Structures are given as C-alpha cells and as structure tokens.
Amino acid sequence: MNEQNQELERVIGWHLEITRRCALECPACPRTFDAEKVGPLNIDLKLDLIKRFFAKDKLPLINYIFLNGNLGDPIYHPDFHEIAEHFFAAQHLAISTNGMIKKSFWERVIRTWPENSLLILSIDGLKETNHLYRVNSKWKMIEDLFEVIARTKRKCKIEWKYILFEHNHKDVEKAHELSKKLGIDSFRLQKTRPLNSRMNKNGFLKEFNGTYFDAEKNKKPLKELAPFCKTLDMHYINAEGTYFPCCWWPSHYKDEKQEFWEDTNIANLDLDGAYSHFKKFTQCLNDFDKAPEVCKNFCTKLEENTEELLTPNSQLNRKFLGNSKKEWEIKKD
C-alpha cells in the first residue's frame, strides 16, 4: 500500500447527515425543539458531491460509513438508494432510521444490502407507545416493515434500538420477544438524553433509568479526555457538506468553535485534505484544561473504566471494530 493510502486508511469511520428531512417530530430532537435556530430543514447532501469525496476506489479503505445525522432521517433523501448502494464498496455500512417509509423502499434495502451492513431501527415502544415519542409515526408502517423483515431472505444485520422512557418501559419485554420472533439480530436499550423544558414542553416525557443502567451509576469523571475522533472514528459531514471532527461539534458551543475548528466543506476537500485539516485540530485536545468545552462535555473519561466516556457515543455501537459495549442486559423492572 502506498503512503497516501496508508493515510486514508487511518480515517476509519464517517458519520453522514445525508438529509435534514424527516416526517417525524420527536420532542427531544433539535430538529423539533430548535427548529427556528437550525436553518432550512429540507436540504440534502448532493449525490455527486458524495460520490466525488468518497470516490469508489477509496471506499475499500474506509472501515465504516454510518448514515444518520443530527437533524434528519437518511431514508428521506431523494437519492437514498443510489447513495447507500455506492457505499456497498466500503468495509461496513450502517443506517439509523425511524423506519417510516413505504414497503417497496424496505424491500429493496432488505433484499440487497450486503452482509457487512447494519440497519438500526429506532422504535421506542409498541403499537400503543411508539408514537408517544416518535410523534407522527404510524404503527401500520412499522408492521409493514416487520412483515418485509419476516419474509425476506437477507444478508444484512438488523438491530432494534429502543429509547427508554417512563411511558414505554413496560413494553420492553414484549418488544424484545417480538424482535426475536422476527429474527432481528440484536435489541438494544438506550437511555434518553437528559430532558429540559424546551425538549419536553408539556412535561409528558420522563426519563427512565431503572435497573437497566445500574452499571453506569456512580462513575466519576477524570480530568482526562478520551476523544473518539482522535482514533479517526465517526468524523461527521452534515447535509450542507460541512466537515466536523464529530457530530457533537456542529450543534454545540457555536461561539467557541471558531477558535478551535475552522469550518470547511467537502466541496473543497478530498479525503486526504480532511485528514490534514483534522490533524491541526487535535493539538487542542492534548491539555484537558484548555480543551474545548464541547470535548470536555462529551469525551471526558470516567473513572474505573477506560472505555467509558461521559456521554457515550451511542449512535453506533461499535461492533464493527470489535470493541463494542455489551448490549444492555434485559432485566425485569
């Protein structure tokens, strides 16, 4: 492998917000609670820009591509299938989605996605509860998706991701059973982010930590960072094409970011250029006291477990790299 390819290979994982579109209005999503601040919500990362930046011959060097994003659901990109199928050439491909789209869309995905791919379905409850957080979702469409999963011979892996709230924790066992019946490969519980009054205007949503997350309690933060970006993991490109070291960066600490990170667009970069841009930034991660606040908030190491971060990057369980956290044990409340 030549020197340039060795450099490229080190940028191991990319997280892409390919669109800001979404049919749902989840209350704790910045797309909902910060709608007036985040700018236009109908923009897409252009297919030709994606294909130029992630040229086909470079894809085998990339460990994984994760289609998700802070402000949209990837399934609503008008060129979704062309984009996803372009990334079949990467080592791994994953998507996180609310699942609310027509059956023929899922038939194409589930029939064609390769064995090194993962669909993460964000379904936070069952018929009576999923729509309480996933506002506007229709259970009939989830049932249609389940029907496609049950009857289609597939190679891709499927995970059911379930955010726990007070209103849906009673459905966990049943949902877990249903996932097994459908042949879904994994079932993962996720703790909701701390809710504030803007995310929860009517006070209806309540976090549920219960016994599921006992292992996380009582861990104290150290004065040390464990930046996952530094291992070149989950670098982020938003729907405008702006490149960031991670998905936390664009939505937090807008005033301070100018000092540490110069915004740059993939229209003006290639993969190598992005890596050089990032290398300059890493200087600010060496001294904890001088590090950006966003990094202290999200990437401070917790005592007693060198792998745990203050806020774990829960958006991709890193099965791909073989160092994933254990799935939460399913216990009775």
User: How many other C-beta atoms are found inside a 10 Å radius of the C-beta of residue 261?
Assistant: 21
> What are the helix (H) ranges across the chain?
3-10, 30-33, 47-53, 80-86, 103-112, 130-133, 139-151, 172-181, 254-260, 271-281, 293-299
Q: Pick the closer one to ligand SF4 by CB: 88 or 281.
A: 281
User: How many other C-beta atoms are found inside a 10 Å radius of the C-beta of residue 293?
Assistant: 12
Residue 118 CB, nearest distance to ligand SF4 (Å)?
17
Q: Pick the closer one to ligand SF4 by CB: 232 or 269.
A: 232
Q: Pick the closer one to ligand SF4 by CB: 125 or 245.
A: 245
Residue 50 CB, nearest distance to ligand SF4 (Å)?
19
Both tokens of 296, joined, read 């202290």
The conformation of residue 166, written as its DSSP 8-state character, comes to T
Q: Pick the closer one to ligand SF4 by CB: 211 or 282.
A: 282
Residues that bind ligand SF4 (CB under 6 A): 22, 24-26, 29, 31-32, 72-73, 98, 225, 227-229, 245-246, 248-249, 285, 294-295, 298-299
CA 133 to chain centre: 18
Q: Pick the closer one to ligand SF4 by CB: 3 or 255.
A: 255
